[in-house]
Amino acid sequence: MEKRRKWKYLSLCIPAFLLIVIFMIVPLGNAVKVSFYKWNGYSQKMKWIGLENYGSIFTDKVFGRSMMNTFIYGFGSTLFQNIAGLSAALFVNKQFKGRNLVRLILYMPIMISGVIMGAIQYYIFNYDNGVLNNLLNLFGIGNIYWMESGIGSVFIITLINSWQAMGFCMLIYLAGLQNIPKMYEEAALLDGTSRRQIFFKIDLPLLMPAITTAVITNLIGGFKLYDIIVTLTNGGPNRKSLSLSYYISLLYFNDEKAGYSAAVGIALFVIIFIVAVPINQYLRSREVEY
Amino acid sequence: MKTEKSGKVQMARVYAPNKKVGWGVYVISGFLILLYLMPIYVMLNQSFRYITDLTPRLYLPEKWTLDNYIQAFHDPNLLNGFKNSIVYVVEVCALEVFLGGLAAYGLARSGGKVSSALRTFNICVMMIPSLSLLVGTYSLMVKFHMINKIWALSLQTAAIGMAGTMFFYTSFIVSIPKDLDQAAAIDGAGILRTFFQIILPQLKPVTVTRLIMIAVGTWNNYAMPTYLLTNTNKATVILTVRKAFYTAYGSVQNVPLACAECAVALAPVILLYLLLQQYIIEGQLDSVSK
Amino acid sequence: MLKKKWATTTMAFCLAANTVLMAACGGSASTQETKGADQAEGNQEGTKTEQTGTQGQGAASDFSGRTIEIATYLSGDTLNAYKQVIADFESETGVKVTLDEYGEDYESTMKTRMASNDLPDIFETHGWSLIRYKEYLADLSGEPWASQLNKAALGVIQDTDGKLYTLMTTGSCLGTAVNMNVCEKAGVDPWAIDTWEDFNAACEKIKEAGFTPIANYFTSAGALANANGSWLSYEGAQFNDNEAMLNGTWDWADFKTILDYLQTWFDNGYLYADCGTIKQADAIERCARNECAFIVGIGTSYQTAVTAQNPDVVMAMIPICASQKGGARFCGIGEGASFGIWKDTKEMDVCKAFLNYVSENADGINSAAGEISTLPCQTSKSYGMGLMEEMESHYPNVFYDNLWDRKYMPSGMWGVFQVAAGMFCEDQSEEGKQEVIDYLRENYTDLYEASQE
């Protein structure tokens, strides 16, 4: 197409990208600058220390732990949400009384803010007077200390997050399923293909755009998990259930290490980048046109 | 509508092994409903209690009271919070759909290297953790006197979601045949008109999906508004409810009151969702036949 | 014109001040009412912000049209009492007050604002006026109320050069909280406890009776930081490392004794199983259910909260135990509701007038907070005051001082202690303890150097 036309189209992008540059790139630049200083976050004085903050990242045990947690939140949530979402979509696709009700209720928790959900779940998983333990007590089982270990807490947080956001995946898959032209399935049925094969050979590939969208969105969302951890575990026993996002804010506000916090922020960005881009490329390549 | 209905019936035929749905489905449904409604039950249960009620949380209150709700309704901050939240959400949605959609259109149609680079840029931007941007954003807002102005916060929130919106829209616009554009051009429509009158209507299901994500996310947004809407009468409803859950050092944490406020804040959202769900969910699924 | 206005204002203020003092001495029960009557003349700047304006007198003059921004972290009844003061001030002087209630996010929001040098006109210093906020506060030592603050308050907020940066309206008194109901059932007399050994013996008895002796939680620095002076700093203590702590040469070796002692809490099972993840609200609830007996190193607002959840509980306070016989029994005094003025505020006079107003009408805030009074206008005895007096009747020689970590540790150590508490709660082995000590020492040296720059 002629150059003029092309630039005309591109000019449509200006307002959006302008906003992005002002509100994301500029503050990001500020963060990069701060990462080279030692600063307590509120004083007017800062001290230049070069790459020292980045060096500290490699010896920081909590960083390593948080990074691992972030991966679990990201990949774990994505895995659970997508499998659950797809199953739910298939389930809800059937016709039965009350189906709409089920669909409605499955989607509802998304409306609840992560902060509020964490606060409520705190009272469900509480050791002493938590609802879950109350339930167990009814059956004669003693209290379980759910949040005792870091790994346990991380697992619980992942589960809660997946449970809450599953509705989103469910809808994307429902839309995708309904997008599949029936003629393909009917033709296959006529050919005598089993339903299982239909699912794996026809539906899944055609669901790829939906899967791509769902997986990338979930992944990035899981990596950035923050709200629910704040109110549920505050970082967990001895900072063991922190996500990198939460660690960044803790470093800044609690530990008063603003420079180091900025460095960790940049590191998180790089990590997400390294992980998400290849996945995106791979999923895009598997999309099938129809 | 008709097509959709028959499509659904055919779906049932393909996916439901038996024409009659077994009771197992109902058991699963019942379980799912319980699982998903539990936090709501816990929250409502708490909201009807006195603060001195120390019985296990699983059980109904030993003495019911409406005091908490009365107090919640008399809280001027809550009503104000609603007003602010609504303004905030509407502004962000409008900004993201129009500016983001427009930009996505430009990207999709221009093709070529610049467009590709910009799309990759978008994905990178999507990965920037918002907490890293906190200090930089705050300084920026202070410098331009944009603190405590909802429109400024809307711009900032829209900017952060813009990359995601563009990502969403671009992949879908690509699948809209270019012939439509050409037809519109022949009819004498400029680029902008083409977008608003031809393309955007085609994107209804995507828009609805994305709008829900944006609206819910913005409504529940907690991190940035806490710092940028410092004035109590500019706070969103989530901030108000969040405040109810905290305990300043030594104060008694009034969980029942917090839960009541939470219920009051959630009620309109859920109500709206129930009213619109027909349109929301059906709208999202209504992408089968073009 | 201005001079004349000033003169009238001064006179009006003096008149008001007099009336207020007289009314206050009259023993008013509810602060707000008395305040209202007097305030009518005085500076009613209802701004919550502390104004550094020392125009002095709180001229109750007319500041109508002016606006101030106040930030607060208070909540519940204390906040309501504060709002009343502000409302009265607003109606008296015509100032418009914008109140930001930050709650739990107060500290992080303030830090963000400090970084951009955009602070509210008046904000609360919650114990950090000298350590953290000093750079941004105006000196208030010339204010009329500065000389009226009692010794307890001055000891906490006055800098070494005589300056002070905040109006401390209530003080929090920190000791060991005791649930008398539980002690009675277990046959323990808390007033007889003197040293930590006595304390452990009492805990043993309580454990045998089926209760949880100690409700301390290790998600806060308190468990590791509040009682330390009893081993390291006070008269008759095991060690005396004060000088080393203050000049940055302390090697933390003696801290091991404290960790060894705290380990006995874990080994003997005196703590809750989930002490590593619970918050203060949980401890309050469990105490209200009469399930636990002691919390070491906590302010009187804790007891106030417990009785609010269960009015039948009888609480008491004992000083921090001594590390050896004859050692001083200590209670810490910290800033309660304290207000400072941003030094770059544009409404200095309004702010100062507001502070004056608050200083004369702080009774309501004090009784709501359940803490100890610091100003002469506070005549209603708060619950916290009651606890303190009961304690003093058993321990006439109790020693009051600023909180240990604020006096002997550099700024920022509180956060370090919090992380260390979590580390210790997880692992009390020899290696674990050594790790905690190394962590503390490393950060202490870092922070000390930073504070010297």
pLDDT at residue number C46: 34
Digit-coded pLDDT (tens) for C96-110: 998 888 877 788 888
pLDDT by residue (tens digit) across A198-212? 778 877 877 777 787
> What pLDDT does residue A287 have?
61
pLDDT at C54: 39
Are C277 and A148 in contact (CB < 8 Å)? Answer: yes
For β-strands C122-124 and C338-341, DSSP reports them as: antiparallel
Q: What are phi and psi of C317, to 5 degrees?
A: -135, 135
For residue C40, pLDDT beyond 50? no
In this predicted model, what pLDDT tens digit does every residue of B177-228 receive, in sequence order? 788 888 888 887 777 887 887 777 777 777 877 887 788 888 888 878 877 8
Cβ–Cβ of B205/A106 closer than 8 Å? no
Instruction: At A62, list the tokens.
Output: 């909590």
Q: Which residue in the set B134, B246, B251 is minimally distant from C305, CB to CB?
A: B251
Residue B199 lies in a domain: yes
Chain A segment 63-122 residues within 8 A of B by beta carbon are 90-91, 93-96, 98-99, 101-117, 119-121
Contacts of B131 in chain A (CB under 8 A): 226, 245, 248-249, 252, 265
Is the pLDDT confidence value at C13 over 70? no
Does residue C116 carry a pLDDT above 60? yes
Query: pLDDT by residue (tens digit) across B22-54?
Result: 778 888 888 888 888 888 888 898 889 888 888
Q: Name the residue among C111, C278, C286 with its Cβ closest to that of A42.
A: C111
One-letter amino acid of C440: L
Give bridge partners of residue C99 from the DSSP assignment: C70
Domain enclosing residue C414, as ranges: 173-333+397-452
pLDDT number for residue C51: 38
pLDDT band at B281 (very low <50, low <70, confident <90, very high): low
With cut-offs at 50, 70 and 90, classify the pLDDT of residue B280.
low
Residue C182 binned pLDDT confidence (cut-offs 50, 70, 90): very high
Q: How confident is the model at residue A60 (pLDDT cuts 50, 70, 90)?
A: very high
Q: In chain C, what residues touch B51 (CB-CB under 8 Å)?
A: 308-309
* Interchain contact, B127 vs A220, CB within 8 Å: yes
DSSP 8-state assignment for residue C251: -
For residue B178, being part of any structural domain is answered with yes
Q: Are residues C9 and C105 in the same domain?
A: yes
By C-alpha distance, the chain C residue nearest B230 is: C100
Regarding whether B141 and B40 lie in a shared domain, the answer is no
β-strands C292-299, C212-214 pairing: parallel
* Token representation of residue C120: 């509210």
What are the tokens at A118?
């964490």
Residue B171 reports pLDDT greater than 80: no
The confidence score (pLDDT) of residue C352 equals 92
Examine the pLDDT at C59 and tell me if it is beyond 50. Answer: no
How close, in Å, is residue A45 to chain C by CA atoms? 10
Which residues of B are less than 8 Å from C126 in CB distance?
Answer: 249
Q: Nearest by CB to C116, which of B142, B243, B248?
A: B142
Q: Are residues B34 and B98 in the same domain?
A: no
Asked whether residue B39 falls in the same domain as residue B97, the answer is no
Mean pLDDT computed over A239-266: 88
Question: Which pLDDT does position C58 carry in this prediction?
Answer: 41
Q: Are B48 and B192 in the same domain?
A: no
On whether both B52 and B179 belong to a single domain, the answer is no
Indicate if the pLDDT at residue B15 is higher than 80.
Answer: no
Nearest residue of B to residue A224, measured between CA atoms:
B129
For residue B290, being part of any structural domain is answered with no
Cα-based distances in Å from B86 to A51, B215, B218, B227: 45, 9, 10, 19
Has residue C283 been placed in a domain? yes
CB C29 within 8 A of CB C10: no
Q: Specify whether C260 is located in the same domain as C190.
A: yes
B109 — phi, psi (to 5°)? -85, -25
Please enumerate, as own/partner, the contacts of A186-194 that have beta carbons within 8 Å and a separation of 24 or more: A186/B10, A189/B14
Domain assignment of residue B7, yes or no: no
Q: Is residue B168 part of a domain?
A: yes
Q: Does C422 touch chain A (CB under 8 A)?
A: yes
Q: Are B54 and B85 members of one domain?
A: no
Which residue out of C99, C112, C335 would a mutagenesis test of the B interface target, given it has the greatest number of B Cβ atoms within 10 Å?
C112
Tell me, yes or no, whether B116 and B140 share the same domain.
yes
> A182 burial class (0-12, 13-18, 19+ CB within 10 angstroms)?
middle
Identify the domain containing residue B97 by its residue range. Answer: 76-285
- Same domain, residue pair C414 and C435: yes
Q: Do C279 and A127 touch (CB under 8 A)?
A: no
Q: For residue C103, what are the CA distances in angstroms to A77, A227, C71, C79?
A: 31, 17, 10, 10
Sketch the domain layout of chain A as residue ranges. Answer: 68-285
What value does the mean pLDDT take over residues A55-76? 92
> What radius of gyration, in Å, describes the C-alpha atoms of chain B?
24
CATH number assigned to the domain comprising residue B92: 1.10.3720.10
B95 and B201 share one domain? yes
- Between these two residues, C251 and B154, which has the higher pLDDT value? B154
Residues of C (187-226) whose Cβ lies below 8 Å from A: 219
Strand pairing of C330-335 and C399-402? parallel
Average pLDDT over chain C reads 81
Rounded to whole angstroms, the Cα distance separating B167 from B8 reads 30
What's the number of domains chain C is made of?
2
The residue written with tokens 């296990």 in the block is B56
ipTM of the assembly? 0.80
Residue B13 placed within a domain: no
Same domain (yes/no): C129, C245: no
Q: Considering the domain boundaries, does residue C220 fall inside one?
A: yes
Q: Is the CB of C101 less than 8 angstroms away from the CB of B248?
A: no
Distances (CA, A) of C61 to A134, C14, C16, C246: 60, 12, 11, 46
pLDDT of the residue at C61: 66
What does the angle CA C53 – CA C148 – CA C302 come to, to the nearest 5 degrees? 95
Asked if pLDDT for residue C36 goes beyond 70, the answer is: no
DSSP state of B129: -
Neighbours of chain A (3+ CB pairs under 8 A): B, C
Contact C279 B251 (CB under 8 A): no
Span of A11-20, A259-268, B51-60 with lowest mean pLDDT:
B51-60
3-state DSSP of C276-335: CCCCHHHHHHHHHCCCEEEEEEEECHHHHHHHHHCCCCCEEEECECECCCCCCCEEEEEE
Mean pLDDT, range B140-146, rounded to an integer: 81
Those residues whose C-beta lies under 8 Å from the C-beta of residue A14, and which sit 6 or more positions away, are B103
Domain match, B177 and B245 both: yes
- Do C13 and C99 fall within a single domain? yes
**Which chain B residues are Cβ-neighbours of A172 within 8 angstroms?**
209
Instruction: State the CATH number of the domain containing residue C355.
Output: 3.40.190.10
Q: Distance between CA atoms of C354 and C87, rounded to whole angstroms?
A: 11
Q: Which CATH class is domain A68-285?
A: mainly alpha
Are residues B58 and B130 part of one domain? no
Q: What is the mean pLDDT of residues B106-128?
A: 82
B205 shares a domain with B89 = yes
Tally of helices (H runs) and strands (E runs) in chain A: 17, 2
**For C336-364, what is the mean pLDDT?**
90
Best mean pLDDT range from A145-154, B143-152, C124-133, C154-163: A145-154
* Confidence label for C33 from pLDDT (cuts 50, 70 and 90): very low
The better pLDDT of the pair C44, A249 is held by: A249
Same domain, C189 and C321: yes
B264 confidence band (pLDDT: 50, 70, 90): confident
| B8: confidence class by pLDDT, cuts 50, 70, 90 | very low
Q: Do A195 and B17 touch (CB under 8 A)?
A: yes
Above pLDDT 70, what percent of chain C?
Answer: 86
